[in-house]
Each structure stands twice: as structure tokens, then as C-alpha cells.
């Protein structure tokens, strides 16, 4: 059965700290891995990763995929209180299987 | 550029009733997916619509049905509501292999 596991489930850090969120997966015919940030309602898209070892970066956020070990990490440097959210990881299987398979999310709380 | 819009925002129903949720996709998107998100969990895939047809379905009973209209908007219908149907229902739209974009969801509470 396809599954996505995120760790930790929750994390509390202080402003300015660096955090690393983990996502491991077991999916038949992997196509891509996506990271989303969910604050109150709509998950907002962060990154889509398809190739191993290529870091994607957006400001203080970065992410990388390891297709051999079947995991991805999301790094946030110099955290701010606005980074407090649930970070969701989802995996797309190959063309022909259109659903996203989601992890349970990591709840990140940044204390001032 | 309007994003994905969903209505209503909140809905309260009683067991056994039926409900219809609506979604308008982001401009330029032709595919709509529906998800159910229980508190503290990741979204669960309900189904996806493309070219007015249900293209794929997750592990949800037939009480959950949907429709896509020629303008790409979509409805999710749930019949014979159960207490366990209480959740945030998210609609996402996409085009081709691009990432899905989500609406703010409809919070459905069943009493």
C-alpha cells in the first residue's frame, strides 16, 4: 500500500532557529513529491521535486529529494513567527494515477 | 487572477441529510480534485474530474458523488450524511502536470 510518513509530527522552536522537516515515502511508480504549507485553510504550494539531489530554493526555504533512500527534507532557516503552520508532504504516482498521497503533516510552532 | 474558490465556507447538517459543495477552479485550470481532511490529518483523495468525467476515485463510498461542468467548475455531493463525514473538504485545480492549487475549503459539521 502506498504511504507517506512525515516526521516529526510537531515541532516547537524559537525565532531564528533552523528547522528540518522529513518526509519518507513508499509509492509504486513515483513521479513527484510536493510540499505544501497549510496555515488556516488552503494548503499553499511550496515545491515540486522530481529529480534526486537537486535542491529547490525559495527565500529561506529549501528542499531536496533522495529517490534512492525514498525521502525528502524541507529546511527553513532563520525561522519567523509567520512560518508557524502545518507543512504537508504529498507524492504523485506515475501518469495514469492522478491522486496525491499525503502525509499527516508536521505542525511547526515558532515562538518569538 | 482569481484562485480556487469554494462555497459555502461553513455548513452545518444533521445525520441523514444531503449536501452539495461547490468549487470554481483557478483560471486556466481544467482539472478538479476533491479531498477530505479530518482534524490533525493530511487530506484524503476523494476523486478527480477532467473533461466532465470522473477520472479517478479514492476509497470513498458511493454516497460521495460529483460533477464537473463545461466551464470546469465542480460540485461534490454527499448523501445520507454520517457523523464521520464532519471534516474540511478541499477542492484543488490543476492543468496538465502542474502542481494542484487549493481553495480555502468548506468546513462541514454533522450534528
A28-68 pLDDT, tens digit each: 888 999 999 999 888 999 999 998 889 999 999 999 999 99
Distances (CA, A) of A34 to A25, A68, B5, B50, B110: 12, 17, 22, 21, 31
**Nearest CA-CA distance, residue A94 and chain B, Å:** 11
Which among A40, A48, A103 is the nearest to B42, CB-wise? A103
What pLDDT score was predicted for residue A28?
84
- pLDDT reading at A112 higher than 70: yes
Q: How confident is the model at residue A96 (pLDDT cuts 50, 70, 90)?
A: low
Chain mean pLDDT for chain A: 93
What pLDDT score was predicted for residue B12?
97
Q: How many CB atoms lie within 10 A of CB A21?
A: 22
Q: Which residues of chain B, if any, have pLDDT below 50? A: none
Q: Minimal Cα distance from A98: which residue of B? A: B56
Provide, as residue numbers in chain A, all residues whose Cβ is less than 8 Å from the Cβ of B102: 36, 42-44
What pLDDT score was predicted for residue B26?
95
Q: b vs e for B92-102, b when ≥16 Cβ sit within 10 Å of the residue's Cβ?
A: bbbbeeebbbb
Number of A/B CB contacts below 8 angstroms equals 51
**Nearest CA-CA distance, residue A69 and chain B, Å:** 23
Q: Minimal Cα distance from A49: which residue of B? A: B99
Q: Which residue has the higher pLDDT, B105 or A2?
A: B105
Share of chain A above pLDDT 90, in %: 79
Which among B55, B101, B102 is the nearest to A98, CB-wise? B55
**Nearest CA-CA distance, residue A20 and chain B, Å:** 19
- Label the pairing between strands A56-58 and A61-66: antiparallel
Amino acid at each position: 500500500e502506498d504511504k507517506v510518513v512525515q516526521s516529526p509530527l510537531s515541532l516547537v522552536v524559537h525565532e531564528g532557529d533552523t528547522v528540518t522537516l522529513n518526509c519518507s515515502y513508499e509509492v509504486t511508480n513515483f513521479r513527484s513529491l510536493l510540499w505544501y504549507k497549510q496555515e488556516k485553510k488552503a494548503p499553499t504550494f511550496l515545491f515540486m521535486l522530481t529529480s534526486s539531489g537537486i535542491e529547490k530554493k525559495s527565500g529561506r526555504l529549501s528542499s531536496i529529494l533522495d529517490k534512492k533512500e525514498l525521502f525528502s527534507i524541507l529546511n527553513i532557516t532563520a525561522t519567523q513567527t509567520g512560518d508557524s503552520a502545518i507543512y504537508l508532504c504529498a507524492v504523485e504516482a506515475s501518469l495514469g494515477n492522478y491522486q496525491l498521497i499525503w502525509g499527516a503533516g508536521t505542525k511547526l510552532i515558532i515562538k518569538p | 487572477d482569481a484562485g480556487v474558490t469554494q462555497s459555502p465556507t461553513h455548513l452545518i447538517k444533521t445525520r441523514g441529510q444531503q449536501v452539495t459543495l461547490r468549487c470554481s477552479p483557478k483560471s486556466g485550470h481544467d482539472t478538479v480534485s476533491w479531498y477530505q481532511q479530518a482534524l490533525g490529518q493530511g487530506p484524503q483523495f476523494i476523486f478527480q474530474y477532467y473533461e466532465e468525467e470522473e477520472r479517478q476515485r479514492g476509497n470513498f463510498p458511493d454516497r460521495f458523488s460529483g460533477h464537473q461542468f463545461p466551464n470546469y467548475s465542480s460540485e461534490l455531493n454527499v448523501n445520507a450524511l454520517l457523523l464521520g463525514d464532519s471534516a474540511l473538504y478541499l477542492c484543488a485545480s490543476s492543468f496538465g502536470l502542474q502542481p494542484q492549487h487549493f481553495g480555502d475549503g468548506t468546513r462541514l459539521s454533522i450534528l
